[in-house]
Amino acid sequence: MFENRDKKRTEISSIGEFGLIKKITENFKIKNASTIKGVGDDAAVIFADNKRLLVSTDLLIEGVHFDLMFTPLKHLGYKAAVVNFSDIAAMNGVPKQITVGIAISNRFSVEAIEELYAGISMACNKYNVDLIGGDTTSSVSGLFISITVIGEAEEGEIVYRNTAKEGDLVCVTGDLGASYMGLQILEREKFVFKNNPEVQPDLEGHDYILERQLKPEARMDIIELLKKLEIKPTSMIDISDGLASEIMHICDDSKVGCKLFEDKIPIDIETIKTAESFKIAPLVCALSGGEDYELLFTIKIEDFEKIKSSGQIQIIGHITNAAEGINLITKADQSIPLTTPGWDSFKSSISEN
C-alpha cells in the first residue's frame, strides 16, 4: 500500500510523459479478441458489430493544460471536446459519443459549470457528437476535466502511426505554430495585468492566433477530403505536441526515418510576425509549440497527383530508411537531426510555455 522506501526513486520528469506511459503499460497484454489495438496510438480500436470502435481519453488539469485567467469557460468546454474529436480524426474515423467527467472546487458556481457545458454542447452540435454520460465530483485544487470519446471506422479505413513506409510523402494540414504564439500573447497580457490591473489587455491584431489557442478545430474536413480524393494515408497522427514530436512518433513506431524541409513547413504570416516580435524563431513554434491539432500523415508517392492541388494539404518531406535518422533540411540545405521533444506535461507547466 505504501511506497517501498528502500527501492530506488525515479523522478517522473527524468523519463517524461511518454516514457512513463510506456513503463506503466508495457506489461499489459491484450486478453480479448475484441481488442484490436490497445495503448500506443491516438485511440484504442475495439471490434463491435462489424464496425471498429475507436476510444480515447484526455485529461485536462487547471494550471497545467489551461489557465482560467485568460481562458473563458465556454471556450474551455469547446476545446476540451474538440481535442478529443481530433484523436478520432487522427485514426481516420468519425467521433460519435463522449462522456465527460469533472472535478470542481467550491469556487465554481452552478452558472460557471453551465458555461463550461455550453461550450461542450457547441462542439457536440458542430461535430454531430452525443454526450452520453460522465461523472462529477469535488476537488480541493481547481478544475479537472476528463473526456472519453468514442468513434467509428470501417475495418479497412483505420490509419495507425506505425505503418509509414520508406518512400512515402509526409503531409500536413493547415499551418503550424499559431496556437503557441496565441498562448504567448495571453501569457504576456496576464503578466502585465498582474503587475498593473488597471491596464487593459492588448490583443488587437492577434485574432487568428488567439482563436487557434482558445478555440481549435478538429480537421474532420480533411478526413472527408481524403475520402473524396480516394486517398488512405499510410500513417497519421494529430499535432498536439508539436511537429517534431509527432513525426518522431510516426518514425519511431514505423521504424523508419524521414527528411522534413524547412521551406515547406506552413507557418501563417501572423504567427511569423508575432514570433519575431517575441524574438522567437517561427520554425521553433512550428516544431515544438503544440496544440495546433492539424493532421500529420504520410501517403504513397503514387497519390501525389491526387493531393498536390488540394489547397489544404502541404507536402513537407518524405520517409526514408531508419538508418538515415529523423532530419530537418534547412533552407541552407543543411541536414539537422530532429530531437525537439515537444510538449511534455511532466517536464512543463502552462506558465513555462
Confidence (pLDDT) at 188: 94
What is the DSSP track for 110-155?
Answer: HHHHHHHHHHHHHHHHHHT-EEEEEEEEE-SSS-EEEEEEEEEE-G
Please say if the pLDDT value at position 343 is more than 70: no
The phi-psi region of residue 54 (left if phi > 0; otherwise alpha if psi is between -120 and 50; otherwise beta) is beta
Query: Which residues, 6+ apart, have CB-to-CB distance to 166 below 8 Å?
Result: 256, 319, 320, 321
What local confidence, expressed as pLDDT, does residue 12 receive?
A: 64
CATH topology of domain 169-347: Phosphoribosyl-aminoimidazole Synthetase; Chain A, domain 2 (3.90.650)
Average pLDDT over residues 199-216: 91
- Highest CATH level, class, for 32-157: alpha beta
Angle at 218 between CA 216 and CA 220, to 5 degrees: 150
Eight-class DSSP state of 301: G
Shortest CA distance to 216 belongs to which of 341, 81, 59? Answer: 81
d(CA 78, CA 45): 25
pLDDT digits over 285-341, tens only? Answer: 999 999 999 999 999 999 999 998 888 899 999 999 999 999 999 999 999 999 855
Check residue 46 and give its pLDDT: 77
First-to-last C-alpha distance (Å) of the chain:
36
Percent of the chain clearing pLDDT 70 (strictly above): 90
pLDDT tens track for 96-142: 998 888 898 888 888 889 999 999 999 999 999 988 878 888 888 89
Of 162, 155, 151, nearest in space to 84 by CA = 151
Q: What is the band of 50 on the pLDDT scale with cuts at 50, 70, 90?
A: confident
Q: Give the pLDDT confidence score for residue 14 in this predicted structure.
A: 78
Query: How is residue 311 written as a grid cell?
Result: 489547397
Are 77 and 118 a contacting pair, CB within 8 Å?
A: yes
**What pLDDT does 340 receive?**
56
Pairing of strands 130-138, 94-104: parallel
Q: Identify the pLDDT of residue 92.
A: 97
Query: 169-347: same fold as 32-157?
Result: no
pTM score: 0.85
The overall average pLDDT reported for the chain is 88
> Where along the chain do its domains lie?
32-157, 169-347
